[in-house]
Amino acid sequence: MSDLLERLRSRGWRLTSQRRVVAEVLDGDHVHLTADEVHARAAERLPEISRATVYNTLGELVTLGEVLEVATDGRAKRYDPNAHQPHQHLVCSACGTIRDVRPTGDPLAALPAAERFGFDVATAEVTYRGLCPDCA
Amino acid sequence: MSDLLERLRSRGWRLTSQRRVVAEVLDGDHVHLTADEVHARAAERLPEISRATVYNTLGELVTLGEVLEVATDGRAKRYDPNAHQPHQHLVCSACGTIRDVRPTGDPLAALPAAERFGFDVATAEVTYRGLCPDCA
DNA sequence: TCCTAAGATAGACCCAGTCTAAGTCAAGAA
DNA sequence: TTCTTGACTTAGACTGGGTCTATCTTAGGA
Ligand SMILES: [Mn+2]
Ligand SMILES: [Mn+2]
Ligand SMILES: [Zn+2]
Ligand SMILES: [Zn+2]
């Protein structure tokens, strides 16, 4: 994530303490935080940071392709820093934990031309659901 | 959908005009309406029907397994009467149209044990995205 | 050091959805 | 057929997640 700040700088971003702390909070593997969780953790280091700034920064990171939005079933969106390695998600139906997973093969291959209705299909997003070891 | 009303009656449902009209609105193929769209169409036939009743009825149909909720990327949920035939969704990235599609094979098969992290994986939900013929 | 446009902030606002309290009615009992 | 009652419906208040706006602050170049 340290090179993230470099990439942002080279794209003309001003490096404010708020942006730095949001980028730091998003560092790590299997990170899928809601905007409010990001705000709470950022506020531990920078108490005055506002919700609006967290939303703005997350939105900018998404636009730049540095962070992915993960839509979750009517609840708050989650933000995923693992944007450069294509992956899918495995979600616990009980506690909601999310893990990054990499299925074999191209998921697009499973959709035959006859089932494409003339669409130009570009991506496939897969959500696997089940019980995690703790909840089973 | 006419047998739906029968199934509901046999489960002890009171057959009110509101429930009947919501069931009618949900009839058809590739139907994926938001709650407000269901309400608007229901209100054409039954002008006094309330938003709360539409939400209640949709929720009950989902609980009974007669209708599926389709979560869509931060926007309003969509309600899908095609609950008895397993299928996936093909979404137009431009206009949002949703089609039901049936990929070949079991999507669960693409997730090797090593990528399951000890989860007891039960289902896989796939969203294919691309441009529909009209938008291409 | 100064200047200024980019960025941060508080809080109003919006939308999808839920909840509540009061009124209505489907359908079984008599 | 009428009566009764709890299941159902309703308007509108309320919530959570998110966006917008007007004002203030500041990174970073001159
Ligand atoms: Mn992820
Ligand atoms: Mn469908
Ligand atoms: Zn779990
Ligand atoms: Zn389209």
How large is the C-alpha radius of gyration of chain A?
17
Q: Which residues are placed with Cβ below 5 angstroms of ligand 1, an ion?
A: A 80, 82, 100
Considering the domain boundaries, does residue A33 fall inside one?
yes
How many whole angstroms separate alpha carbon A15 and alpha carbon A19? 6
pTM metric for this prediction = 0.90
pLDDT, mean of residues A82-111: 94
> Which positions on strand D lie below 7 Å from a protein C-beta?
7-12, 16-21, 26-28
A76 and A98 co-located in one domain: no
A36 and A10 co-located in one domain: yes
Number of separate domains in chain B: 2
Q: Give the Cβ contact number of residue A104 at 10 Å.
A: 10
B121: which chain A residues are within 8 Å (Cβ-Cβ)?
Answer: 90, 128-130
Q: What was the pLDDT predicted at A73?
A: 78
Considering the domain boundaries, does residue A117 fall inside one?
yes
Of the candidates A46, A62, A80, which is a domain's last residue?
A80
Q: What was the pLDDT predicted at B110?
A: 96
pLDDT, mean of residues A99-122: 96
Residues of the domain holding A109: 88-130
pLDDT, mean of residues A93-118: 94
- CATH classification at residue A61: 1.10.10.10
User: CB distance from A134 to chain B under 8 Å?
Assistant: no
Residue burial B24-58, b: 16+ Cβ < 10 Å; e: rest? bbbeeeebbbbbebbbebbbeebeebeeebbeebb
Considering the domain boundaries, does residue B104 fall inside one?
yes
Per-residue pLDDT 10s for chain B (136 aa) are 557 888 888 888 999 999 999 999 999 988 999 999 999 999 999 999 999 999 999 999 999 999 999 988 778 999 999 999 999 999 999 888 999 999 999 999 999 999 999 999 999 999 999 999 999 8
A50 and A113 co-located in one domain: no
Q: Which of residues 86-125 of B touch strand C (CB under 7 A)?
A: none
Beta carbons of A96 and A78 less than 8 angstroms apart: no
User: CB distance from B68 to chain A under 8 Å?
Assistant: no
Nearest chain B alpha carbon to A126: B126
pLDDT, mean of residues A24-28: 94
Beta carbons of B57 and B66 less than 8 angstroms apart: no
Chain centroid offset of residue B102 CA: 15
How many whole angstroms separate alpha carbon A58 and alpha carbon A41? 14
Q: Is the CB of B9 under 7 A from strand C?
A: yes
Contact: B119, A133; criterion CB under 8 Å: yes
Q: Among A19, A102, A88, A11, which Cα is nearest to A1's?
A: A19
Q: What was the pLDDT predicted at B2?
A: 57
A76 and A20 co-located in one domain: yes
B61 and B126 co-located in one domain: no
In this structure, what token pair is assigned to residue A90? 């495995």
Considering the domain boundaries, does residue A15 fall inside one?
yes
pLDDT, mean of residues A6-29: 91
Q: A33 pairs with which residues across the strands?
A: A79
Beta carbons of A38 and A29 less than 8 angstroms apart: no
Considering the domain boundaries, does residue B54 fall inside one?
yes
Look-up: residue for tokens 């007669």? B66
A30: which chain B residues are within 8 Å (Cβ-Cβ)?
Answer: none
Q: What was the pLDDT predicted at A104?
A: 96
Considering the domain boundaries, does residue A136 fall inside one?
no
The Å distance, CA of A48 to C1' of C11, is 15
**Which H/E stretch holds residue A24?**
helix A17-25
Considering the domain boundaries, does residue B135 fall inside one?
no
Q: What was the pLDDT predicted at B58?
A: 97
Out of A101, A110, A122, closest to residue B105 by CB: A110
The Å distance, CA of B76 to C1' of C14, is 14
B74 and B100 co-located in one domain: no
- Runs of H (alpha helix) within B11-130: 17-25, 35-45, 51-63
Q: What was the pLDDT predicted at A5?
A: 83
In this structure, what token pair is assigned to residue A109? 């291959």
Gap from B51 CA to chain A (nearest CA, Å): 18
Q: What was the pLDDT predicted at B75?
A: 86
Considering the domain boundaries, does residue B37 fall inside one?
yes
Beta carbons of A99 and A136 less than 8 angstroms apart: no
The Å distance, CA of A38 to C1' of D24, is 24
